[in-house]
């Protein structure tokens, strides 16, 4: 799933993923991540075709909106199935505390996937021509209001505020490794908007390397051109 999103390519496993009946929340989220990767692939192909088809653009927005509803339904069911709150805030930051490490890891993955989707929706909406039919304009305006800068920064902040919990020694190195995908997505968003808290969050991500020995975190902190940089970018396009 991660590689499908990273390189904005439909996974060769997607057909198998689509045919699988998932009984666990992690598997269901995994499948939706594959759907997001395929959507990004199709969007890039459309952009590369040079077409200026308003109807096609509207169709992609509807696909994005449908996937967003799917994510929201998954999240609502996840929360409803939990016998207690899955997370809460604590401290001056305030950092996010979770009921357990499994809850933390599945939620930061969810926030990262939602962030990628919201960024994609926001970018498409920003490129819609000014003179469009009122019905489409209303749909675009609603999506922009829901998935704009404030929403994206909220998701990115949630991820970064979850890092201290996930990086606790008792959770082991593997939990920190599993934060890399979500942390990268959040950091690109925070850099895109030059968040006031960017320096603090960059340092927090660098702590992955300092405390856990993960070289990838240091690479990203230094803004090196890793395989992620061109693909999950401020333009939302592959290069």
Is 60 exceeded by the pLDDT of residue 233?
no
What is the rounded distance in angstroms from the CA atom of residue 35 to the CA atom of residue 101?
Answer: 25
Spans of all domains in the chain: 55-221
The pLDDT score that the predictor gives to residue 237 is 36
Q: CB 151: neighbour CB atoms within 10 A?
A: 17
Asked if omega into 220 is within 30° of 0 (cis), the reply is no
Taking residues 182-192, what's their average pLDDT?
92
- Over residues 35-44, the pLDDT tens digits come to 999 999 999 9
Taking residues 48-53, what's their average pLDDT?
78
- Over residues 199-221, the pLDDT tens digits come to 888 887 777 666 666 655 555 55
The pLDDT score that the predictor gives to residue 211 is 66
Strands (E), the chain: 87-90, 95-98
Let me know if 176 is exposed, middle or buried by CB neighbors in 10 A (0-12, 13-18, 19+): buried
Is 70 exceeded by the pLDDT of residue 18?
yes
The pLDDT score that the predictor gives to residue 136 is 85
The pLDDT score that the predictor gives to residue 37 is 94
Identify which has the larger pLDDT, 153 or 11: 153
- Over residues 130-156, the pLDDT tens digits come to 788 888 889 999 999 999 999 999 999
What is the rounded distance in angstroms from the CA atom of residue 1 to the CA atom of residue 11?
Answer: 7
């Amino acid at each position: 799933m991660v590689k499908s999103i990273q390189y904005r390519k439909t996974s060769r496993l997607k057909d198998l993923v689509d045919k699988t009946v998932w009984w666990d929340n992690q598997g269901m989220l995994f499948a939706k991540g594959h759907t997001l990767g395929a959507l990004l692939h199709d969007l890039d192909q459309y952009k590369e075709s040079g077409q200026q088809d308003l109807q096609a653009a509207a169709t992609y927005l509807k696909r994005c909106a449908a996937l967003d509803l799917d994510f929201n339904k998954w999240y609502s069911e996840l929360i409803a199935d939990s016998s207690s709150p899955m997370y809460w805030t604590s401290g001056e930051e305030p950092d996010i505390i979770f009921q357990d490490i499994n809850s933390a890891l599945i939620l930061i993955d969810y926030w990262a996937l939602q962030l990628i989707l919201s960024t994609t929706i926001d970018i498409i909406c920003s490129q819609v021509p000014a003179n469009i039919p009122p019905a489409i304009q209303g749909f675009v305006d609603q999506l922009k209001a829901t998935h704009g800068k404030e929403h994206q920064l909220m998701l990115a902040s949630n991820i970064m505020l979850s890092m201290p919990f996930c990086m606790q020694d008792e959770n082991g190195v593997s939990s920190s490794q599993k934060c890399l995908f979500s942390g990268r997505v959040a950091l690109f968003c925070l850099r895109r908007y030059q968040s006031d808290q960017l320096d603090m969050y960059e340092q927090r991500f660098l702590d992955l390397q300092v405390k856990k020995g993960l070289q990838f975190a240091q690479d990203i902190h230094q803004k090196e051109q890793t395989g992620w940089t061109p693909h999950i970018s401020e333009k939302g396009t592959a290069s």
